Amino acid sequence: MIKPVTFNNRGQRLVGVLHLPDILSGDRKAPGIAMFHGFTGNKTEAHRFFVHVARSLCDSGFVVLRFDFRGSGDSDGEFEDMTLPGEVDDAKKALSFLARQRWVVGAKIGVLGLSMGGRVAAILASEDKRVRFVVLYSAALGPLKERFQSRLSEEDWRRLNSGEAVKEANGWYLKKAFYETIDYTIPHDVMNRIEAPILIIHGDVDQVVSIEGAQKGYEIVKSLNKKNEFYTIKGGDHTFSEKAHTQAVINKTVNWLFTLPSAGRD
């Protein structure tokens, strides 16, 4: 069953979908997973990737929340006001919202993030002990400031300094705060603080976020928890757009989660 939901952060409404397993009845509860979409993405994601993942996780017994960050999808706000600290703040609110659901085991909540959403998930997990497991898809874990700022012209900087937004790509605009705060916390610098088990999945032909950054992230965390794992999708692109690659990601995710006491059903 799916249930449209909303919750608030800083006076703005965030819109999401809650996937509820059919096995829930009476006082029975299940572990929860909050999903964080990527840069310019939304709760559905490319080729409905997040829908397929959420349905499979739900069929496997998890309560799943996928939602739009402020300024994205159906949520309040404008994308041009997006910042990474703002998305981490939204993620914390999403975690709190999920934990309040009567169907969810509050001590068994994890996060799953794609691309920039993976960056958000890693930062959140390094700060918030409520996160009991972490799944990162095509995650942007290294520095990004230079990459984004290198695209800006002198005219762009003039406009940004005057408070205007500049075009980033494909009709998306951003303000100065985004460029100033994108590296406010770099996951590589804080992943050693993550106590929860981590699964990192990356395609070896990802041309948006290089697999090397994900591999470096794994090198940082691999000795922290015996369940930490790195999994490569051979031929996989940034969003695992081949049907077989999507299924491989789902299968690996579900199988890995079933090995975790922190993700077991009550």
> What is the rounded distance in angstroms from the CA atom of residue 182 to the CA atom of residue 189?
14
Residue 252's pLDDT band, with cuts at 50, 70 and 90, is very high
State the distance between the two ends of the chain, measured CA to CA, in whole angstroms. Answer: 19
- Residue 239 is predicted with a pLDDT of 98
For 28-51, what is each residue's pLDDT tens digit?
899 999 999 999 999 999 999 999
Residue 31's closest CA among 231, 202, 196? 196
User: Domain 2-143+187-263, what fold?
Assistant: Rossmann fold (3.40.50)
Going by the DSSP 8-state scheme, the letter that residue 61 receives in this structure is T
From residue 51, alpha-carbon distances to 42, 55, 132, 250 in Å are 11, 6, 22, 11
Is residue 188 within 8 A of residue 118, CB to CB? The reply is no
Q: What angle (nearest 5°) sits at the alpha carbon of residue 187, between those of residues 48 and 165?
A: 65
Is residue 134 within 8 A of residue 121, CB to CB? The reply is yes
Amino acid identity of residue 262, one-letter, is S
DSSP code per residue over 114-131: ETHHHHHHHHHHHH-TTE
Is the pLDDT reported for residue 25 higher than 80?
Answer: no
Residue 106's pLDDT band, with cuts at 50, 70 and 90, is confident
Backbone angles phi, psi at 65, to 5 degrees: -110, 120
For 54-79, what is each residue's pLDDT tens digit?
999 999 999 999 999 999 999 999 99
Residue 220's pLDDT band, with cuts at 50, 70 and 90, is very high
Is residue 78 within 8 A of residue 101, CB to CB? The reply is no
> What is the rounded distance in angstroms from the CA atom of residue 70 to the CA atom of residue 111?
18
Delimit the CATH 3.40.50.1820 region(s) of the chain.
2-143+187-263
- Residue 265 is predicted with a pLDDT of 60
Average pLDDT for 105-117: 96
Packing angle between helix 243-257 and helix 49-59, nearest 10 degrees? 40
> What is the rounded distance in angstroms from the CA atom of residue 231 to the CA atom of residue 229?
7
- Residue 250 is predicted with a pLDDT of 98
Torsion of CA 34, 46, 6, 36, to 10 degrees: 30
Please provide the average confidence, as pLDDT, over all residues in the chain: 96
Q: The whole model's pTM is what? A: 0.97
Is residue 210 within 8 A of residue 141, CB to CB? The reply is no
